Amino acid sequence: MHAQWTLVPSGTSTQLEAVHMIDAQSILSSGKDGVLVRSLNGGNTWSPLVSGYGDDINSIMQLSPLDFILFADGGVVIRSTDGGNTLVAWCHSNNE
- Tell me the domains of the chain and their CATH numbers: 16-91 (2.40.10)
Q: Which pTM does this prediction carry?
A: 0.82
- pLDDT tier, 92 (very low <50, low <70, confident <90, very high otherwise): low
Of 67, 62, 63, 26, the closest CA to residue 43 belongs to 26
Query: What is d(CA 83, CA 27) in angstroms, rounded to the nearest whole number?
Result: 10
pLDDT tens for 44-72 read: 999 998 888 888 999 999 888 889 999 99
- What is the side-by-side order of every strand in the sheet holding 77-80? 57-64, 67-72, 77-80, 88-91
